Chains A and B, each alone.
Chain A
Amino acid sequence: MASHTGELKLDAAVRVQALHRSFNEAGGVLNGLDLDIAPGEFVALLGRSGSGKSTLLRALAGLDRGVAGHGRIAVPERVSVVFQDSRLLPWKRLLDNVVLGLRVPGAAERGSQTLAEVGLAGREKAWPHELSGGEQQRASLARSLVREPQLLLADEPFGALDALTRIRMHTLLRRLCEVHRPAVLLVTHDVDEAIVLADRVIVLDDGVVRHDARIDLGTRRSQADPAFARLRAELLHELGVEDDHDAVRGRSTLDERAAS
């Protein structure tokens, strides 16, 4: 990591100050962005395409070598990334994928434990292509968590999954985060997903934080809750989308049935 962790205090896992990034002369993708994330805090990052969500995430992950820009980024020592594709190496068995590059005593055992945690117990010897999309993404979650990250960066990790699998993954991710307590930055385009999962939702627009809302809905979050709907409408408004509730009532009741 290019940044140093020396000045990090306990009050923040991530500190981003006046971050600028641009891919061409015309204009910046990030224009002086400031963001703090507390240890153990789950932050969902919303924004239209091109708003700089992924650019920010890649900057935090240290994957934006060669991109023009300036600003300060401080991240913890142990950062894990979950990509939209599971990115399992097809030539490695599941356990070898999970513990790749892990240099701790008893790595294999810890890998097996983490696989069990994501519901893949006994699949250590499976090849990645033998797994379903949801299972592959769970394995990739295990690969991230086995490193005991202080910061988990997730770039639309459930974007390629079907709706039912996605709901199961939400439950799993919440449970895992309660156990491991990493700070999380989840990039998503799904407003419902953001509200269901996060402690705090941030809307990015034009390279700066446009909206920053804490979510106080408790641990049981239902889309039937009027507060949920209000928050949803508010966030959609921030994203520049007007949602007509009556028009989509039929669809949302279907979603609830699937969720329960």
Chain B
Amino acid sequence: MATLATPARPVAATEDVRPVRRRLGPGAPIRFGGLIGIAALLGAWVVGSATGLLDPRNLTEPWTVVATAGTLVENGRLQESLVTSGVRAALGLGLGVAVGTVLAVVSGLSRIGESLIDGPIQVKRSIPTLALIPLLILWLGIGEPMKVITIALAVFVPIYIHTHNGLRSIEGRYAELAETLGVSRAEFVRHVVLPGAMPGFLLGLRFAVTSSLLALVVVEVINATSGIGHMITLASNYGQTDIIVVGLVVYALLGVTADAAVRLIERKALSWRRTLAS
């Protein structure tokens, strides 16, 4: 039922009488709403530690974590580990993205390519990458190549799937147009195929970033002599909860930063449809 809401005191000269329906949706967004939950959780941690409800052996006090982070930065261990982990993740991600994109384009543009590539990748997709680690250790040892390749293997699947899907959903009429304009194969790929597949690719990239961090943690915790994961494993052996928490915070920061970077790329690369979304 529409109710007629008549203002009790008519404000100024302009009249505003309109039927208003009861709102069923969630309403206007709260500013910085996403941060409120995080702040509440941090607050609970501080209160819990201060009142002694949280045993420091299970979870260190927040101020100890900050102090430990300071010490780790001072003696350089944190930066060193961060750089090692960051380089690993970046190399694996870069390799996986490149391979996944090339395979998606080849498989999307040629039927022979599709017959050769698509089947094996669908099979690979059903094997969790982490289950391949024992085999990769036998083949590549436990050095950096094994770690980078494990991350790349985890990354290329989502990139392939989403880019291939994006590419296949480009409308055929654009290919027809390109034919009438007499563009070359290379121009077609550059001006029609790649930009058309970009939304799919970027979706794949967001999944890929998450996968790369997951694979990073696993390869670093299993067998590493450097990196954030190694730092955490050592701390675990000596019961240093504070160092473990610092490591986890660094992982969280890595994830958030990477996701923000992808969103930024998305905003830039998809500006042609930004006004549609907003």
Contacts and interface: CB of A to CB of B under 8 A. Distances in A.
Interface of A: 61-63, 79-81, 83, 85, 87, 89-93, 96, 100-102, 127, 129-130, 143, 147
A23 to B, nearest CB: 17
Contacts of A91: 195-196, 198, 272-273
A129 B273 contact: yes
Contacts, number: 56
A63 B191 contact: no
Given A83-B173, A92-B191, A127 B272 contact: yes
A87 B187 contact: no
Interface of B: 173-174, 176-184, 187, 191-192, 195-196, 198, 272-273, 275-276
Given A102-B181, A127-B272, 13 more contacts: A62-B180, A80-B180, A81-B177, A81-B180, A87-B173, A90-B272, A90-B273, A91-B196, A91-B272, A100-B178, A100-B183, A129-B276, A143-B181
B187 A130 contact: no
A7 B48 CA distance: 92
B176 A63 contact: yes
A250 to B, nearest CB: 39
A170 to B, nearest CB: 23
A129 B275 contact: yes
A99 to B, nearest CB: 10
B249 to A, nearest CB: 39
A63 B173 contact: no
A101 B272 contact: no
A136 to B, nearest CB: 13
A100 B173 CA distance: 15
Given A92-B195, A100-B191, A101-B187, A63 B180 contact: yes
25 contacts: A62-B179, A62-B180, A63-B179, A79-B180, A80-B180, A81-B177, A81-B180, A89-B174, A89-B177, A89-B192, A89-B195, A91-B196, A91-B198, A91-B272, A92-B191, A93-B272, A96-B191, A100-B178, A100-B183, A100-B187, A101-B183, A101-B184, A102-B181, A129-B272, A129-B275
A83 B184 CA distance: 21
Contacts of B198: 91
A68 B190 CA distance: 32
Contacts of A83: 173, 177
B152 to A, nearest CB: 28
A101 B276 CA distance: 27
A91 B179 CA distance: 18
A108 B276 CA distance: 27
Contacts of A130: 275
Interchain residue pairs A-B with the least CB separation, the first 9? A101-B183, A101-B181, A91-B195, A81-B180, A91-B272, A87-B177, A127-B272, A100-B181, A101-B182
A4 B173 CA distance: 26
B192 to A, nearest CB: 7
A80 B275 CA distance: 31
Contacts of A79: 180
B178 A101 contact: yes
Contacts of A100: 178, 181, 183, 187, 191
A96 B184 CA distance: 16
Contacts of B187: 100-101
Chain B CB within 10 Å, residue with most, of A62, A92, A100, A129 = A100
Nearest to B196: A91
Contacts of A96: 191
